[in-house]
Amino acid sequence: MCLLAGCASVEDANSGGDRDLAMPAGSDDLGGGADDLTRNGDGGQPITCAGQHVVINEVQVGSAASASDEFIELYNPCTTTIDLTGSSLVYRSAAGTSDVIIVNLNKTITPGGFYLVTGPTCPDMGAPDQSYGAGRMAATGGGVGLRDGTQALIDSVGYGTATNAFVEASAVAAPANGQSIARKPNGYDTDHNGSDFVVATTPTPRAAN
């Protein structure tokens, strides 16, 4: 079980389970100290801190207006700023066995902060942290993963008819047009998508679920 306050693992892309996360060689305590920034890019460190990790917090796969009204929100439960440079958001179709890159991430996420990535036609959300140019996610089923700079799978969620390796225990129901799948509460992670996520009738991009 991987609770928000004490998760010491990242996801195994081959099995959908967890593997132990070792402290990078030569690293000090990632939870604080003089260097209060956990880096992911040049050093290849996982995007984790003190037994926690950045999570996929909310996903919208389309609206009645457009199938491309997509967004993915990340949440940082850590007490340190996390450098997402070098990490990526990836997608797999419902029964897919290979990744499709949604976007390569290139900014930091503050402690307790949100990081919003939007599709090409996602209105009324303000300026996202990043965006991508074409719709990626099927409405009926699929999976979204967060990989760090070493390509380790840090977090994932499968929804609807998904049976791929991004499903943790069981998939959450697919959201209807204009709805989202959202963690309740923010950052809550037991490695069970069906328990950790709910279908939210009113999406809350870059805000508490």
pLDDT tens track for 44-102: 456 777 678 999 999 999 988 888 899 999 999 999 999 999 999 999 999 999 999 99
Q: Give the CA angle between residues 203, 159, 155 to the nearest 5°.
A: 85
- Structure pTM? 0.80
Check pLDDT > 70 for residue 154. Answer: yes
In three-state secondary structure terms, 72 is strand
Compute CA distances 145 → 28, 36, 72, whole Å: 28, 26, 10
* The CATH fold of domain 9-14+32-200: Immunoglobulin-like (2.60.40)
| Residue-level pLDDT at 3 | 26
Which H helix or E strand runs over 193? helix 193-196
- More confident call, 35 vs 189: 189
Distance between CA atoms of 205 and 108, rounded to whole angstroms? 17
pLDDT in tens, 163-193: 999 999 999 999 999 999 999 999 999 999 9
pLDDT at residue 117 tops 60 = yes
Hey, how many other C-beta atoms are within 10 angstroms of the C-beta on 154? Answer: 23
